[in-house]
Structure 1
Amino acid sequence: MAITVGLLFVVGVVVRLILLQTDLPQWVANKNEVITPLTAWERVQEGLALKKNMISPYDGDIFHETPILLKIMEVVNNFPNGSKYFFVILDVWMGLLLLSITNKFAGYKLTQQAEGVKKYSVDVEKIILRSKDLKHLGSYVIAVHFLNPYTISTCLARSTASVSNLAIIYLFYYMLHNKLILCTFFIAVATYQSFYPFILCAPVALYFYSHQTSSKSDRSYNSSKAIFSYTRTCLLSIGWLMALLGLSCVMEGSWSFLYSTYGFILTVPDLSPNVGVFWYFFTEMFEHFRVFFICVFQINAVVYTVPLAVKLRKNPVFFLYMLIFLTSIFKSYPSYSDVGLCLTLLPLWKHTFSYMRNSFVVACMYICCTVFAPVLWHLWIYAGSANANFYFAITLVFSTAQIFLVTDLLFAFLRREYDLYNGTTHKLENGETTQIILE
């Protein structure tokens, strides 16, 4: 496995370095599927130019990234071709973290299984996890990370979304390593960068509470001990976030960056087309309905936290992944970088793949959308032989593919959990074999 992983690292880096020498980076850097008004490298350059000329980058409507990230990019830009190789280094960095995550995750799943195995049905031999089943997990995750066209295009376009992805991966990493302080710090960093990750406090709080209790029988998720644990996690995250915002205020000299960053995410003033569902809907929206539907759409991005917290309270790591996936679909400015992160982490749940029902359909939808999105954009903007409806249709199919995938994975996970406790062979009272159907 070590040789395979090492080879994947080398291939992933070489592919990126070769493609950086072509015209492809310039092409993908202008693709609405890859970059957004928040993450475009061109806007970072504008922000750096304004700052260099002693003008606040937040005075206009060009730059919407955070002050700390702008400072980091200023340092990176001081090196020859620094920005190009910085994002390659980020991908390698994420790869190393992902490798550690897979190792810890394998141990976590085996420990979790050992805690509940006494309650499992007797005929679940086929679906019980063993060490050999998780042996090559790291290879699968690293392969998807380095060879995924979505992550490659994000790297080539120098999208600042890579920094947000790094923060989320660090969050995952420190959660599995049981480091509460550092985990909450990276919740704050991810929230500071892209706002929506504040909801990740819920699965992290559940994880650290369950980690504190010695056995499942001692866990009561609404006890005073549990509430204290949840409150501690949330307060630590808020404290770190306040520190980051305070540092940003000191760096910028005012709080004006708040509206240009989080205000921009929440009010969605820039309706540039992307792979999300906001842009087309609000282009067609009457102005006096706008505030109401902005609230509806933004609530939709986070509202699934509550029902999922109830259903998946005993599986906080899977709960965390579900929230990452859902926010990548319903956030106001999604891009391929969000999809790339979700697909990279998907092999962690390969033990549920045999229960999935729509894998082929979803794969075909992803491929078709990825191929036809730039084609329909060209027909609309350059050839003039199509209109906005064509491009919106393909982005709607792309969002549908993601929804199909996340719901199918949730079904597969829950169905496997059901089979673990009730057996894989189901019979009626008269002894006749039957099939379980989700309604």
Structure 2
Amino acid sequence: MVLPTAISFVAGVILRLSLFRSSLPEWLSTKTEVVTPLTSWSRAMEGLALHREGISPYSGDLFHETPLMLKVLGFISRFSPNTINLIFVLLDIIQGMILLRIANSFGKHMLLSQAARVKDFHPDAKNLLLRKEDLMDLQFYVIVAFSFNPYSISACLARSTAVFNNIILLLALFYMLKGNAILSAVFVAMAAYISMYPIILCVPVAVHYFLISRKGRVQYNDTTAGVSYLQIVGVTFVSLALMLLFSMLFVGSWEFIPSTYGFILGVPDLTPNLGLFWYFFTEMFEHFRTFFICVFQINAVIYTIPLAIRLREHPPFLFFMLLYTIGIFKSYPSYGDVGLIFSLLPLWKHVYQYMRNTFVSVCMFLVCTVFAPIQYYLWIYAGSANANFYFAISLAFSTAQILMATDLLFGFLKREYFLRNGEKHKLPDGTDAQIILDS
């Protein structure tokens, strides 16, 4: 599968380069589904212009990138427009290379994890076990999902700064799979520094670290587990604190905090997007706003606890599910988040056969992707629709994401149940368990 993988990778790069020569990038850079106030390249350039004139970019309501990202974007902006386009294609190439490494490491991790748990599996579940041949084509499917993923392509063409966050998140997952929990925690801190929400990803990294550290031990207790978890959480928060300190030294004050993290939490900009915040808070009475902001924001983090308890033996899948929930419930989501999820989705292709709503989910994604710009045009430019039309598409898109996430979780848990109990397992009352699971 090496040659097909390489061809797909090169084809994806050529596709991006050719599309940059069209008018599509300019059109995509104005689409609220692709860029947000946090990831807009044009807003970033306006903030840089203020910074170069000696005016704080955080004094207004245009720039919401962190100070260290300001430094990175300032370096990139010095090149010509065509060179900047090439840089964003290069960033996508980096993402693809990391995805290849992730797919390779994930296959090894799954085989080792399965070998460690095989004694707990039911004798009749042999046909469900993963084999080396089943995982050899993972790299091909991951690269195809990334190279020809319209969401990833649109984020690249629009020069969305979400690609930087995606690279860091992929590095965090890669080093977690490699067993380097400390470096993974540092990358989680970097992702949290940029967009705040990824701070919850220190949980699967800590769980994975604990599972690795207990290998070979005959006995372990709650104290040992607590130390393991605290080590990773401590590394994450210390790394984040150091980055915040460097940021303060760079801009000379803490004024960037309200304009970055305060902006993410407070959601003052209600520009329409594919999220759930903007329409609700446009209609919200001001004296209820704080309460419902807390209710909406807690959705992005509250599922960490039940998922961590249920998936404590499967930290890579826990990492993916938390990444998925962040993309759904964050205050300013975009296609860049969806593209990252879809690129990682083939890692769990062995679960697809247990999913029940794949066709419905895919159709919903297609319909929403096509109709979102149409409804926005009818509302803003043609004046023949209103905000309800566009919000209906936003709501349907979020529903599609939730449907696919819950379906994937269901399929994963169903496969785990069959591994432990067999597909022909009988309940104590003699009922066929397969009938119960399918009902």
Report the TM-score range of the alignment, normalised by the length of the smaller protein: over 0.9
Match runs of 1:304-315 below 5 Å: 304-315=303-314
C-alpha displacement of 1:6: 1.1
Letter in 2 for 1:179: N
C-alpha displacement of 1:127: 1.2
Q: 1:213 to 1:416 in 2, by over 3 A?
A: same
What is residue 435 of structure 2 aligned with on the other side? 435
What is residue 179 of structure 2 aligned with on the other side? 178
What is residue 284 of structure 1 aligned with on the other side? 283
Q: 1:364 to 1:217 in 2, by over 3 A?
A: farther
Percent of residue pairs identical: 52
What is residue 259 of structure 2 aligned with on the other side? 260
Asked whether 1:380 is paired with 2:379, we answer yes
Asked whether 1:198 is paired with 2:203, we answer no
What is residue 83 of structure 1 aligned with on the other side? 84
Paired with 2:159 and 2:225, the residues of 1 have a C-alpha distance of 42
Paired with 1:438 and 1:89, the residues of 2 have a C-alpha distance of 46
Deviations 1:370-401 (A, max 9, x none): 00000000110111110000000011000000
What is residue 152 of structure 2 aligned with on the other side? 151
C-alpha displacement of 1:129: 0.4
C-alpha displacement of 1:426: 3.0
Letter in 2 for 1:112: S
Paired with 1:168 and 1:76, the residues of 2 have a C-alpha distance of 21
Native 8 Å contact 2:206 2:229 kept in 1? yes
What is residue 132 of structure 1 aligned with on the other side? 133
Deviations 1:275-323 (A, max 9, x none): 0000000001000000000001111110000111111111111101000
Native 8 Å contact 1:272 1:279 kept in 2? yes
Paired with 2:262 and 2:427, the residues of 1 have a C-alpha distance of 57
What is residue 50 of structure 2 aligned with on the other side? 50
Q: 1:428 to 1:229 in 2, by over 3 A?
A: closer
Match runs of 1:288-303 below 5 Å: 288-303=287-302
Q: 1:307 to 1:438 in 2, by over 3 A?
A: farther
C-alpha displacement of 1:134: 0.5
What is residue 415 of structure 2 aligned with on the other side? 416
What is residue 213 of structure 1 aligned with on the other side? 214
Letter in 2 for 1:352: V
Native 8 Å contact 1:65 1:261 kept in 2? yes
Deviations 1:400-427 (A, max 9, x none): 0000000000000000000001001133
Letter in 1 for 2:270: L
Asked whether 1:142 is paired with 2:132, we answer no
Greater CA drift, 74-83 or 383-392: 74-83
Deviations 1:20-65 (A, max 9, x none): 0110000000000000011000101101111111111101000000
Native 8 Å contact 2:37 2:43 kept in 1? yes
Deviations 1:212-262 (A, max 9, x none): 111597455xx1011001111011111111111111111111110111000
What is residue 32 of structure 2 aligned with on the other side? 32
Paired with 2:291 and 2:217, the residues of 1 have a C-alpha distance of 43
What is residue 3 of structure 1 aligned with on the other side? 3
Paired with 2:295 and 2:43, the residues of 1 have a C-alpha distance of 29
What is residue 347 of structure 1 aligned with on the other side? 346
Deviations 1:327-379 (A, max 9, x none): 10000000000001011101111111000000000000000000000000011
Q: 1:103 to 1:341 in 2, by over 3 A?
A: same
Q: 1:428 to 1:216 in 2, by over 3 A?
A: farther
Q: 1:128 to 1:269 in 2, by over 3 A?
A: same
C-alpha displacement of 1:180: 2.3
Letter in 2 for 1:250: L
Native 8 Å contact 1:276 1:329 kept in 2? yes
What is residue 111 of structure 2 aligned with on the other side? 110
What is residue 315 of structure 2 aligned with on the other side? 316
What is residue 16 of structure 1 aligned with on the other side? 16
Q: 1:128 to 1:218 in 2, by over 3 A?
A: farther
Q: 1:320 to 1:216 in 2, by over 3 A?
A: farther
Instruction: Provide the secondary structure at the position in 2 that maps to 1:115.
Output: helix
C-alpha displacement of 1:85: 1.6
Q: So what's the TM-score if we normalise by structure 1? A: 0.97
Paired with 1:428 and 1:291, the residues of 2 have a C-alpha distance of 49
Q: 1:228 to 1:430 in 2, by over 3 A?
A: closer
What is residue 232 of structure 2 aligned with on the other side? 233
Paired with 2:84 and 2:244, the residues of 1 have a C-alpha distance of 25
Native 8 Å contact 2:181 2:206 kept in 1? no
Number of aligned residue pairs: 437
C-alpha displacement of 1:80: 2.1
What is residue 122 of structure 2 aligned with on the other side? 121
Structure 2 unaligned blocks of 5 or more = none
C-alpha displacement of 1:179: 1.4
Paired with 1:80 and 1:154, the residues of 2 have a C-alpha distance of 20
C-alpha displacement of 1:437: 2.4
Q: 1:117 to 1:251 in 2, by over 3 A?
A: same
Paired with 1:235 and 1:178, the residues of 2 have a C-alpha distance of 17
Paired with 1:143 and 1:70, the residues of 2 have a C-alpha distance of 32
Q: So what's the TM-score if we normalise by structure 2? A: 0.97
Q: 1:432 to 1:53 in 2, by over 3 A?
A: closer
Structure 1 unaligned blocks of 5 or more = none
Paired with 1:8 and 1:219, the residues of 2 have a C-alpha distance of 46
C-alpha displacement of 1:126: 2.2
What is residue 61 of structure 1 aligned with on the other side? 61
C-alpha displacement of 1:181: 2.5
Q: 1:334 to 1:135 in 2, by over 3 A?
A: same
Paired with 2:411 and 2:219, the residues of 1 have a C-alpha distance of 28
Native 8 Å contact 2:351 2:412 kept in 1? yes
Q: 1:336 to 1:216 in 2, by over 3 A?
A: farther
Native 8 Å contact 2:37 2:64 kept in 1? yes
Letter in 2 for 1:279: W
Match runs of 1:348-363 below 5 Å: 348-363=347-362
C-alpha displacement of 1:435: 1.4
